Structure 1
């Protein structure tokens, strides 16, 4: 398991606390949780199950916004960069182009599964922020006023270009509404028991390169037209 970087601080009783997946854990409790998960084989037990969509969209958005506000307002926040060794990567970088991949929807993701041959087309719906990874809350084309579709994407090892505060760089690179394509997404159980798509290699995510072509039913991505009706429906619904 990777050594997750996190917000680190002292509790009132002098014990060290870590913030992982947006929740605080004492170091001792975190170690016990990790040991328990290993003992009962949580990942193996749920591997291959369809996304249960247990979290209400409204609650997911509220939690994401609360965590973002907490980090912005915490002057003592310290960022510890996550390092991921090649041997610990859950998946190798995708070698496929978008035109070779078949679109998949959030509700069709399978737990603890690398979706070979698939691409997840999503749009960010609230401000993103960086902890040990860049946390991006997204929706797909199924989103609507009564939809429960919302998903966290955790992006690791991303290097920003340009200068500015971390908050400014995140806002500039992952603005609200930006459309992203995640190649062969890895859908997993987080340490806190939630679900997220984990992207360990930035090469597996295309950000802001997908848009509607008004003159024909195709999507322009990186200068290449991808003739996939599904992607057309996704982006047209987000105009």
Structure 2
């Protein structure tokens, strides 16, 4: 497991690494249609935060990410369908697609454990699976999803990208983290999201939010 990595080749002076064991797959993951596509990875030791290694909060149970809301996805996947993988960490901004519309695109296979995002000309691509989908509110970054399934070509406007919906797994995650649970933050933004119209969700100062997130677990998809 690498932290603080910016590029896949050459030097990454701000990088550190840890071994990972065990990997805890969700017991109800069965492959396609990729429901419960999530796992926990326990690190060999804690990771020290820096200007280049920062945590995110996890979306708490009941969080709402309305259709049209802006989200960020990062990864080292392919830059386009059939192309080569990226050497430099990439970031793309997409909007949330509500589950009703996403379900129509996938013929009814979208469950409440999934969240979709897509935008014409913007997409995750093969190789980005397992990466985070994040939403921002002030100084807080909140993880709403984990990249799960992508239709080829990547930017097919008829098929948004599919992500595991993190907020559905709060109880499952806490069952393995014991007395040191992650920092879950409730997020509620209806359709046509406008940050200025939403009450502040800054429930804790950033320093406190960082301190309550455990160092030993990371979220990944299982496939």
Q: TM-score, normalised by structure 2?
A: 0.28
Kindly name which structure, 1 or 2, has the bigger radius of gyration based on alpha carbons. 1
Bigger fraction of residues in helix: 1
Q: TM-score, normalised by structure 1?
A: 0.26
